[in-house]
A = this chain, B = another copy of it.
């Protein structure tokens, strides 16, 4: 997606140790119009799959997942990291290692919002190690629902996420693909 790629080209900063700073685009400040466009693009790519629900993990995944849910006119569900006091029903729980914080994060979805008859599309901001996405995929499977595909705004191909997720045997679509982050600060985009 050209608009998102141009934004990352202009605003993204490589901080070293594989960490790409896109705070001004995705993680802290957000260009809402570009995110609506991203949602429409996911809807175009995954249209034949007819999802009934879009699933993501809080926090940064919420925005592209919302705009995708809007484009498909289906509900968004975001997995919670902490159990809110309002979550009373039986809950599906998975854990994933945290890429940026160390330790593990919990991902919880109430059984109210993930049914066996659901056809689920997972949307997130990054495809890096793929660990969070794999945990979301397990949540879908544990709920007995059908996992249709995974879409992410930005894929870092050199962190092995796509390989980790290949066993799922579902389409994985990324709107911007980064092949390398170089020590001189260059972000190498896939063509």
Q: Which residues of B contact A101 (CB under 8 A)?
A: 82, 85
**Cross-interface CB contact of A29 among B84, B100, B113, cutoff 8 Å:** B113
Contact A87 B23 (CB under 8 A): yes
**Cross-interface CB contact of A59 among B58, B75, B85, B109, cutoff 8 Å:** B58
Contact B84 A27 (CB under 8 A): yes
Interface-located stretch among A66-74, A134-142, A161-169: A66-74
A49 within 8 A of B: no
- How far in angstroms is the closest Cβ of chain B from A73? 6
Interface-located stretch among A31-39, A146-154, A173-181, A182-190: A31-39
Contact A23 B58 (CB under 8 A): no
Contact indicator per residue, chain A 20-53, by CB within 8 Å of chain B (1) or not (0): 0111100111111101100000000000000000
Q: List 6 A–B pairs whose Cβ atoms lie within 8 Å, in order of A's numbering.
A: A15-B86, A23-B86, A27-B84, A32-B69, A58-B58, A82-B101
